[in-house]
Amino acid sequence: MTGKDEDKEIWRVIRQDTHGNEFEVAASLPKKKAESIAAEFNAKGHKQTYWAQTEPPRPLPF
């Protein structure tokens, strides 16, 4: 994927707790911002894990 394509993608930050449950903690972000937020949370040394990923397509509202 080219850099231009990545700029068009919408990213989110996901947290996984110690029980394996996953939660969205931030959404509708550019890639660099999502990665920055995930890195900031991971640097705090919590037991949870954070990562950035692209958002799945959302249905259009009626």
Look at residue 27 in the predicted model and tell me its pLDDT: 96
The structure tokens 């700029």 sit at 7
Q: How confident is the model at residue 1 (pLDDT cuts 50, 70, 90)?
A: low
Look at residue 60 in the predicted model and tell me its pLDDT: 83
Residue 7 in this model has a pLDDT that exceeds 80: no
Distance from C-alpha of 26 to C-alpha of 23, rounded to nearest angstrom? 9
Most distant CA pair in the chain: distance in Å? 43
The pLDDT tens digits for 23-56 are: 999 999 999 999 999 999 999 987 899 999 999 8
Look at residue 3 in the predicted model and tell me its pLDDT: 58
